[in-house]
Amino acid sequence: MDFSIKQKARIFDEIYQEYIKEHGLGGMSKTDLNALILYLFVSVNGNINSFDLSNEFKITESQIKSLLEKAAVKFDKRTIEQAWSALLIVFERVEYDVESLEKGQIRFQLSDPMLFRWLQDRVRTLGSTCTYSKSSEQVNLNLETLYRVMDFLWKDKGVSENWSGEFLEDVQTRIQKIIGNISMKIEKNMMEDLRKRKQPKLLKILEVASQLTRIGSLILPLVKKI
């Protein structure tokens, strides 16, 4: 990829700051330096595609993802607002796969492994778990947990003091679309089974989620159709 002079200057400045000023020449491990270079490339390029990156850097996709995970901890300067804004864009655009009536698990693709740690941290605070497969780039978690995450994001100043005003209004608009996308998926593929089966776990999840303080009213229409 060809970078502009301004982009090249930014990459050089960042490498100089981290590799020379922060650690001293030779003070950073080769793996950390590789992670830094890859992180800066992705930051300037603005697109994370492990296949393209694998071809560009001539290493495996697995190595690309491992380096990005390391970069997320050591070099990613995103604020909590920026990270969650990026996650909301992912939530809004992905195709959801509801695993089954009995499990109530939901899957979606997350191509940026640097974002998973933010989701994982919030899920833990809710007393739940989620998994991320680097090979398939899929996140797997309980649908109720995802709804509770959305309920948290809907809250004024829930993420930080800056999570408010017009910014929050945009967040809430995105959440409405996300919940609508999930509801459409369930209604299209699972509605008949939900009506026929006696109290499957997925129905219980939807009923509980429809009572959530902030987003419950967005889920209630689907429950009423069942």
Cα–Cα dist 226/223, whole Å: 5
pTM: 0.86
Give the 3-state DSSP-derived string for 11-39, with helices as H, strands as E and coil as C.
Answer: HHHHHHHHHHHHCCCCCCCHHHHHHHHHH
pLDDT digits (tens, 9 = 90+) for 92-149: 999 999 988 888 999 999 988 899 999 999 999 999 999 999 889 999 999 999 999 9
Note whether 139 and 119 are within 8 A (CB).
yes
pLDDT digits (tens, 9 = 90+) for 29-44: 999 999 999 988 888 8
